[in-house]
Amino acid sequence: MMRILQYAIGLFMATTFLVGLPAQPAQAQTMDDKPRAFLLFHKLEYVPEPAERPVEMEATSWIGGDVNRLWLRGEGETSTVHREGEIEAEALYGRLISPFFDAVAGVRVDRRWGEDPATRGHLAVGLQGLAPYNFEVEPTLYVSDEGNVSAGFAASYHVLFTQRLKLESELETTAALQEVPEWGVGNGVNDLGLGFRLRYEFHRKFAPYVGYDHSWAFGETADFAGGDTSSGAFVFGVRIWR
């Protein structure tokens, strides 16, 4: 476990260093600021194992040109058993700072509904793009409307078995400087998640998949969750873009 955690932190530090180097101009690259739009549902999936049997969603959308874009990112889940769920939605201005990286800044809103509904807002600043060895990474720093500071890091990697059969692996981790008990957030490294999804692209825009997610909670975050430090589940879903 410590080796996995050290890998996640090391990958975060290496990415931050690499994208902080002065950007080199792309050779023979043509910029086009004609407005375009893109929408990708990374995940539309059902998780049958937990008691809540949730439906989960993760999506990214942008509108703009090659240099300046408005990014919309969101993820959430809702129970199919009870009227409860949660969602995180981000609206970010993004600007290309190197051939493979955008700097982003904007806001994030968290909303939870059910027995204990709540809403909170954040300012967000970060990076997103393609790191060496084709890792897609998203390090982001957040400051909540209560002044609480946290950070998130996500990395994914694709393996192509054929032109249609692909395996996507994903790593996510979060950390916080202050504990926020009402949101189940502890001080320090909060959690670590690993996921694997094998998809078959019947069409580039439509790909059903099966996968497995496993997550670990640490320290106070595990205490807030009732002592549950590890959980895993198989998932079934579809990836769609337009």
Any residues with CB less than 8 A from the CB of 7 and at least 6 apart, and which? Answer: none
Beta bridge partners of 36: 64
The parent domain of residue 200 ranges over 2-8+35-241
- Asked if the structure places residue 30 within a domain, the reply is no
Strand 85-98 and strand 118-131: pairing?
A: unpaired
pLDDT value at position 124?
A: 98
Q: Scan for tokens 């999936």, then name that residue.
A: 45
pLDDT value at position 146?
A: 94
- Asked if the structure places residue 27 within a domain, the reply is no
Query: Dihedral angle at the C-alpha atoms of 221, 223, 226, 232, nearest 10 degrees?
Result: 50
pLDDT value at position 32?
A: 60
Total structural domains in the chain? 1
- Asked if the structure places residue 78 within a domain, the reply is yes
What is the residue type of 180? V
User: What CATH code is carried by the domain that includes residue 116?
Assistant: 2.40.160.40
Q: Which of 158, 31, 37 is CA-nearest to residue 98?
A: 31
pLDDT value at position 50?
A: 78
- Asked if the structure places residue 14 within a domain, the reply is no
Q: Scan for tokens 């069409």, then name that residue.
A: 203
pLDDT value at position 166?
A: 97
pLDDT value at position 228?
A: 73
Mean pLDDT, each 10-residue run in order, the chain (242 residues): 40 41 44 82 91 91 95 95 94 96 98 94 97 96 97 97 97 96 94 97 94 94 85 95 88
- Confidence (pTM): 0.84
